[in-house]
A and B are shown apart, each in its own frame.
Chain A
Amino acid sequence: MSLLDPVWTSLLYLVAAVFFILALRGLSSPRTARRGNLIGAAGALIAVVTVFLSARLENIPWILAAIALGSAVAAPVARRVKMTQMPQLVALFNGVGGGAAALVALLELTHADDPWVRLAIVFTLLVGAVSFAGSGVTFAKLQELMTTRPVLFPGLPVVMAAVLLAALGAAAAVVFTGSLPLAVLLLVLGLAAGVLLVLPVGGADVPIVISLLNAFTGLAVAASGVVLGNVLLVVAGTLVGASGTILTRAMAAAMGRSVTGILFGAFRGGSTAGSTAVSERPVRSSSAEDVAVLLGYAQRVIIVPGYGLAVAQGQHTAAELALALEGRGIEVDFAIHPVAGRMPGHMNVLLAEANVPYESLKEMGEINPEFKTADVALVVGANDVVNPAAKTSSGSPIYGMPILEVAEARQVVFLKRSMRPGFAGIENDLLYEPQTSLLFGDAKDSLAQVLGAVKAL
């Protein structure tokens, strides 16, 4: 059945594409973001209804059953997932999208006579398969189903190069011959390449890889749009490819590293395995009560939450502490480094979940000039992102990385698990400064003790 003529079909796809653009635009502010996302979902619904009405489709009951199955699996997972597990869920959904694109391209091969279309097919196949397998490994790392440390074995670069060369060869052969068995081989090689790409990436760099694979899936979907001659897929895929690229670059810049350095650094043995070197210099260790006094009699407190807070799941306690301090008339803000948490912007989501209003979540550029006026900067589970070495010592590996300038505050309090350096493996001189005091322990426990002591003041 075909109820819609091609002009109407194109128009409805255009509407859906515009809705997707509006969805991304809505995300420019937390006020409009939720509506934006709903507009995006409406666009997707329009597109799916349009395809049923416009193309001459067989097997409709089967297709509807498959859609019902996919929704029945994904919606409850999406509703129940913990916010700390968001990165792995995004990785998972990203992977299945890439897998779907690869399968679509594989099945279209039998209809493709034009070598240019076959070129788009092999691109979709390869990139979709890399995204599927790479996201799978990313998921396993984040869910801690496997080690989060870089997995390296001798000869890895050689194996990777061999797989890529074989994939290029298979791709060229598919373009010229249209052979289905070779296309399946290409799919398998793509899966292998995806695994090999992500295995050597260290836990701390995995978030960047999620963003990169997101861009990959976008590109695969765009290419599948070329295969099917479907403008909506081209536009939607390209939008995602562009957004993923920007995010990946923004995040790499925030860590002071290059994307190629993260992907291939491990191959050269330069990944973020971290060091365990501990200095012998004295530090000022403090008690929860002392910290509570510092905080409770301040006028302005800036809390700097980091990876450690997310790992300890202490965001609710941090939010309670902020509320308790605000109750004493103290001005409290959260200074969020772009890479705090386990994916870009993750810390904002975690704190939003703990009911911290988004006005209190200050971006780096906005909060940095304000540290001068802060009485106390409370650094919870962060280290490298506040290390002044990034500004002052040109020999340091993190030199040039933008940091939160907590050293400008009158007092600095670190809640740290140990004296172990952050994942960049460099010492933080700020820890030994006279205005700094440290409270050792699990971020959540320390916060709870400080919170109790503040309430008792």
Chain B
Amino acid sequence: MDGMSLLTITVLAVFVGFEVVSKVSSTLHTPLMSGANAIHGIILVGAIIVAGQAADPLVLAVALLAVVLATANLVGGFVVTDRMLHMFHARKQVARQEGAGKVEGK
């Protein structure tokens, strides 16, 4: 791909990134950080390409190390984000009605 197209895509991605992330509520900043963290684990794709082209054993070893690190980043990041988000739950309907009733009753 030529440099100009890559530059165009990069600049547009910056704007999409700012746009999307500025809407995230501060309640979810930790999952956001950990989710974004998981997304950059996609460097795994790069590591796989490099490992797949390696002819020399030393190059292959370094490339495989990159694959291990990138996989840890990608898999660990998504798993831990999922675990965190699983804990965010809405108030149970019953509890809310009870609470509201009592407050109004006072």
Is B85 within 8 A of A97, CB to CB?
no
Q: Is A370 an interface residue (CB 8 A)?
A: no
Is B90 within 8 A of A31, CB to CB?
yes
Residues from chain A with a CB closer than 8 A to the CB of B59 are: 107
Residues from chain A with a CB closer than 8 A to the CB of B95 are: 326, 357
Is B64 within 8 A of A238, CB to CB?
no
Q: Is A86 an interface residue (CB 8 A)?
A: yes
Binary A-proximity of B71-101 (CB < 8 A = 1, otherwise 0): 1111111111111111111111001000100
Binary B-proximity of A229-273 (CB < 8 A = 1, otherwise 0): 111111111111111101100110000000000000000000000
Residues from chain B with a CB closer than 8 A to the CB of A21 are: 16, 20
Docked Cα-Cα span, A23 to B78, in Å, equals 11
- Shortest Cβ distance from B82 into chain A, in angstroms? 5
| Given A57-B51, A83-B87, A243-B20, 14 extra CB contacts under 8 A | A16-B42, A33-B28, A62-B51, A70-B69, A90-B33, A100-B46, A104-B66, A217-B37, A221-B46, A242-B14, A343-B33, A344-B29, A357-B91, A363-B25
Cβ-closest chain B residue relative to A13: B45
Q: Is A29 an interface residue (CB 8 A)?
A: yes
Instruction: Choose among B22, B27, B95, B106 the residue with the greatest number of A CB atoms under 10 Å from its CB.
Output: B27
Give the size range of A's interface with the partner. Answer: 35 or more
With A97-B43, A225-B46: A59-B52 Cβ-Cβ less than 8 Å = yes
- Shortest Cβ distance from A231 into chain B, in angstroms? 6
SS of A interface (majority): helix
Is A96 within 8 A of B40, CB to CB?
no
How many A-B contacts are there with CB distance less than 8 Å?
Answer: 376
Residues from chain B with a CB closer than 8 A to the CB of A226 are: 6, 10
Report the stretch among A41-49, A144-152, A421-429, A442-450 that lies at the interface. A41-49
Which single member of A30, A55, A74, A83 contacts B52 (CB below 8 Å)? A55
Is A345 within 8 A of B79, CB to CB?
no
Docked Cα-Cα span, A336 to B26, in Å, equals 9
Residues from chain A with a CB closer than 8 A to the CB of B86 are: 34
Is A238 within 8 A of B14, CB to CB?
yes
Report the stretch among A161-169, A346-354, A385-393, A409-417 that lies at the interface. A346-354
Residues from chain A with a CB closer than 8 A to the CB of B17 are: 24, 238-243, 246
24 CB < 8 A contacts A-B: A20-B42, A28-B23, A30-B28, A37-B82, A44-B39, A47-B42, A55-B49, A59-B60, A66-B68, A94-B73, A100-B66, A100-B69, A107-B62, A214-B40, A217-B40, A222-B13, A232-B45, A233-B45, A234-B13, A236-B42, A237-B43, A239-B13, A247-B32, A336-B27
Binary B-proximity of A46-72 (CB < 8 A = 1, otherwise 0): 011011100111111011001101110
